[in-house]
Structure 1
Amino acid sequence: MAETKPQTPERVQVAICGGGIGGLTMAAILRRLDISYVVLERYAEITPQGAGISLAPNCLRALDQLGIFEKLAKHSQELHEVHIYRNNEFWGSQRFGMTKEAFGYYVHKMERHQFHYLLLEAAGGNDVVRLGFNVNDIVDEADAPYAVVKAEDGRVVHADIIVGADGIRSYTRRVLAEKIGMKATNTIRFTGRVHMSGYTKPLTHLTTKDEGVAHWLLYDDAILTTWPCKDNRQWYIGVAGARLKPGEVPDRSVWKGATKDTVNEVYGERFHPFGKESKMKTIVDASERVTAANVFQELEVPEMVKGRIVLVGDAAHSMTSFFGQGGCQAIEDAVELGNALHEHFHLNDPTAFDRYSEIRQKRANDLIQFSENFAKVHTARLPYGLGPFVRKVLYKYLPTSVWVWYFTWLFNYQPTIKYPLLDIPAGQAASAK
Structure 2
Amino acid sequence: MQQSRAVVIGGGIGGLTAAVALHQRGWAVTVLERASSTAPVGAGLGLAPNSQRALDTLGLGDRVRALAAWQGDGGLRTPRGRWLNRLSGEAAAARFGGPLVLVHRATLVDLLTAALPAGAVRTGAAARIEDPGGAVGTAGAPARTAVVRTDDGELAADLVVAGDGIHSAARAQLFPGHPGPRYAGYTTWRVIVPAGPDFAPHETWGRGRLWGTQPLKDGRVYAYAAAAAPAGAHAPDSEQAELRRLFGDWHDPVPRVIEAAEAGQVLRHDVYEMNEPLPAFHRGRTALLGDAAHAMQPTLAQGGNQSIEDAVVLAHHAGSGTDPFDPAVLAAYSADRLPRTTMVVRRAASAGRLASFSAPAAVAVRDNLMAAASRFGPGLVLRTMEGIADWRPPGHPYASRTPGRTSGRTS
Shorter-chain TM-score above 0.5: yes
Distance of aligned partners of 1:344 and 1:301 in 2 relative to their CA distance in 1, 3 Å threshold: farther
Instruction: Tell whether the 8 Å contact from 1:12 to 1:158 is kept in structure 2 after alignment.
Output: no
Q: Aligned to 1:301, what secondary structure does the other structure show?
A: coil
Distance 1:395 1:314, change over 3 A: farther
**Match of 1:161?**
159
CA distance in 2: counterparts of 1:177 and 1:258, whole angstroms: 38
TM-score, normalised on structure 1? 0.81
Q: Name the CA distance, whole Å, in 2 between partners of 1:159 and 1:122.
A: 21
Matches within 5 A, 1:64-83: 64-83=56-75
Which one of the candidate residues 153, 168, 171 is aligned to 1:173? Answer: 171
* Alignment match, 2:130: 138
Give the CA deviation at 1:121. Answer: 1.4
2:95 to 94, 98, 102: 102
Secondary structure, aligned partner of 1:225: strand
Question: How many Å separate the matches in 2 of 1:154 and 1:348?
Answer: 26
What is the Cα deviation at residue 90 of structure 1? Answer: 2.7
Structure 1 residue 192 displacement after superposition: 2.9
Is 1:190 the counterpart of 2:183? The answer is: yes
Conserved? CA contact 1:81–1:95, under 8 Å = yes
Cα deviations by residue, 1:90-140 (Å, 9 ceiling, x for unpaired): 32312133222222311001222222212211233x510122221244213
Over 3 Å counting, the alpha-carbon distance change for 1:114 and 1:325 in structure 2 is same
After TM superposition, the score normalised by the length of structure 2 is 0.85
Q: Distance in 1 between matches of 2:186 and 2:209?
A: 11
Query: What does 1:203-242 align with in structure 2 at a 5 Å threshold?
Result: 203=196, 205-206=197-198, 210=199, 213-220=200-207, 222-242=209-229
For 2:125, what is the secondary structure of its paired residue? coil
- In 2, distance between residues paired with 1:406 and 1:224? 19
Cα distance between partner residues in 2 of 1:233 and 1:344: 41
Range with greater deviation from structure 2 (252-261 or 103-112): 252-261
Match of 1:8 in 2: none
1:350 offset after TM fit, Å? 6.3
Are residues 135 and 349 of structure 1, via their aligned partners in 2, closer, same or farther at CA, if it must alter by over 3 Å? closer
**In the alignment, what sits opposite 1:86?**
78
Question: Which residue of structure 2 aligns with residue 5 of structure 1?
Answer: none
1:282 aligns with 2:275: no
CA distance in 2, matches of 1:49, 1:304: 29
Q: Deviations over 1:202-229 (max 9, x none)?
A: 11x22xxx5xx42122234522111222
Rounded Cα–Cα distance in structure 1 between residues aligned with 2:4 and 2:124: 18
Asked if 1:293 is matched to 2:293, the reply is no
How many residue pairs get matched?
384
| Paired amino acid for 1:409 | G
Matched-pair contact (CA < 8 Å) for 1:344–1:350:
no
**Residues 408 and 229 of structure 1: CA distance in aligned 2, closer, same or farther (over 3 Å):** same
Q: Name the structure 1 match of 2:35.
A: 43
Quick check: 1:25–1:334 contact (8 Å CA) kept in 2?
A: yes
Which of 362, 366, 370 aligns to 2:347? It is 370
Q: Using the alignment, how far apart are the partners of 2:383 and 2:398 within structure 1?
A: 33
2:140 maps to what in 1? none
The residue number in structure 1 matching 2:389 is 411
Q: Structure 1, residues 405-424: CA drift from partner, whole Å, max 9, x if none? A: 45231111121554999xxx
For residue 319 of structure 2, give the secondary structure of its aligned residue in structure 1.
helix
1:147 to 2:121 alignment: no
Q: Secondary structure at the match of 2:201?
A: strand
- State the shift of 1:404 in Å: 3.2
CA distance, structure 2, for counterparts of residue 392 and residue 232 of structure 1: 34
Distance 1:402 1:137, change over 3 A: closer
Q: Secondary structure at the match of 1:123?
A: coil
Give the Cα–Cα distance (whole angstroms) in 1 for the partners of residues 372 and 356 of structure 2.
Answer: 15
Separation of aligned partners in 2, 1:419 and 1:90: 38
Whole-Å separation in 2 of the counterparts to 1:97 and 1:380: 30
Partner residue in 2 for 1:13: 5
Q: Equivalent pairs: percent with the same residue?
A: 24
Q: Note if 1:333 corresponds to 2:325.
A: no
Preserved CA contact (<8 Å) 2:184 2:271: yes
Which residue number in structure 1 is paired with residue 21 of structure 2? 29
C-alpha offsets along residues 369-425 of structure 1, whole Å, 9 cap, x if unaligned?
A: 00000111223379xx7564244313443320223345231111121554999xxxx
The answer to whether the Cα contact below 8 Å between 1:200 and 1:283 also exists between their aligned partners in 2 is yes
8 Å CA contact 1:378–1:391 kept in 2: the answer is: no
5+ long unaligned stretches in structure 2: 138-142, 400-411
CA distance in 1, matches of 2:106, 2:371: 31
| Larger displacement relative to structure 2 (159-168 or 285-294) | 285-294
